[in-house]
Amino acid sequence: MRIISSFILTLIFAALSSCSQDGSMADSSKPKARGSIGEIIMVIDSVKWAGPVGEELRNIFEADLPGMFRSEAKFKVNTVDPRAMTRMLKMSTNLIYVTTFDDKRGSSQVINSQFSKESKEKAMNDPSIYSLRMEDEYAIGQEVLYLFGNNENELIDNLKKNGSRLQNLFEVRERGRLERIILARKNTEAAAEAKKNIGIQINVPASYQIAKSEKGFLWLRQITPTANRADISLIFHVEDYVDESQTFPENILKVRDSVARLHIFGDPEDPTSYVLTEKQIPPAFRNMVINDNFTTEIRASWRTNNLSMGGTYLGYLMVDEEKGKLYYLEGFVYYPNEVHRDALREIETILLNTDINWKEDQEGT
């Protein structure tokens, strides 16, 4: 495949979100893309990966997840020499090609040969052009991203400026992929309990079962953890929204820990085994707006008071000022000595499918 049009290079990062995800224009003769959730194949010269460009790419795609009790990267990145790309590797779900046009090494030249002279000249005249997104290039359901520059300094500068956007591109994409898989079958009983006791609409996989449900609180648990599957719990809580101070980080933790202390125990027979936030690992907070509701995301670690168990959690504090309600949604993971990244991505996907604006009179409309 040769990129022959200089116009195509104008489809830079500002237009990334406009590309279709439904595959309606896809070539049905192509195979389906393959790859695990969160996996990225980085096609790059080994010397470039070991140098400053690689360092910046690692800062973006292998950045540590915040609030973790041990280091875990946002994505699983596997690097491949461009000359070693096989047909199977080209069918990977997420492919990122990285090059600079001044690199004369054979590996980078393999990528550079895909750009026309016109395209390279356009990039040379406009250093802000550094990326090109193509969907379904070699397989259906595939994301291919080209990252390039006239030289390493230009590319690094653009990566620094747009790192969060690059992260977000793949985070949103992987969340969408996961959503289609895990929410294909939903637990309607849990959804009914959430509407009745919390006043919200949730979408959870059928594999989650109700552990506890009462007015203002719901605990769901995936009850069949295995060596390859984490023990994941989801909790939903609602209380009155009084004032803005409830959204301050220290008060969010108070809400979270008070709910957990009342309802969640490592051993239900031992009242001293209640769950609390591990303060020695600083929780990470991020403010956002979801469906017009002020929201704070919390990523942190947890342990039982008696130190018998521990893990990580992802929570969202959401405010519905119209209803005068404050909602706390959380997923926590127990998976000793294993990576929690995939479980946290599952939690994120489920919780972000929650609608706190749901109203009873919407039912049936």
pLDDT in tens, 271-310: 999 999 999 999 999 999 999 999 999 999 999 999 889 9
C-alpha–C-alpha distance, residues 89 and 95, integer Å:
9
Q: Find the mean pLDDT for residues 228-234.
A: 92
Confidence of residue 223 (pLDDT cuts 50, 70, 90): confident
For residue 17, being part of any structural domain is answered with yes
Looking at per-residue confidence, does 150 or 24 come out higher? 150
Task: Convert the pLDDT of each residue in 245-259 to its tens digit.
Answer: 999 999 999 999 999
Domain identity same for 151 and 237: no
Same domain, 130 and 253: no
Half-sphere exposure at residue 155, Cβ-oriented, CA atoms within 13 angstroms:
24
Are 263 and 164 in the same domain? no
The CA distance from 249 to 165, in Å, is 25
* pLDDT score of 226: 74
Residues 265 and 357 placed together within one structural domain of the fold: yes
Structure tokens at 79: 């690097």
Q: Indicate whether 1 belongs to any domain.
A: no
CA 75 centroid distance within chain: 9
pLDDT at 117 over 60: yes
Provide the CATH number for the domain around residue 295. Answer: 3.40.1000.10
Percent of the chain at pLDDT exceeding 70: 91
Residue 20 sits in the same domain as residue 151:
yes
User: Are residues 195 and 166 part of one domain?
Assistant: no
pLDDT-based confidence at 28, cuts 50/70/90?
A: low
Q: How many domains does the chain have?
A: 2
Q: Is residue 18 part of a domain?
A: yes
* b/e 115-132 (16+ beta carbons within 10 angstroms → b): bbeebbebbeeeeebbbb
In angstroms, the CA 288 to CA 140 distance is 33
CB-based contact 220:202 (threshold 8 Å) = no
User: Given this model, what pLDDT does residue 49 score?
Assistant: 98
Is the pLDDT at 174 greater than 50, yes or no? yes
Look at residues 182, 200, 216 and tell me which one is the last residue of a structural domain: 182
Tens digits of residue pLDDT in 308-347: 899 999 999 999 999 999 999 999 999 999 999 999 999 9
Q: Is residue 204 part of a domain?
A: yes
Are 194 and 323 within one domain? Answer: yes
Nearest to 327 by CA among 220, 204, 210, 201: 201
Q: Does residue 2 belong to any structural domain of this protein? A: no
Chosen domain end from 182, 210, 226: 182
Residues 147 and 192 in one domain: no
Same domain as 199, residue 168? no
93 domain-assigned: yes
31 membership: H or E segment, kind and range: none
Range of the domain at 119: 7-182
pLDDT tens profile 177-203: 999 999 999 999 999 999 999 999 999
Task: Tell me: do 242 and 351 sit in the same domain.
Answer: yes
Do 151 and 255 have their domain in common?
no
For residues 147 and 222, state if they share a domain: no
Residue 99: predicted pLDDT: 97
**Average confidence (pLDDT) over 64-74:** 94
- E strands, 156-216, in order: 208-214
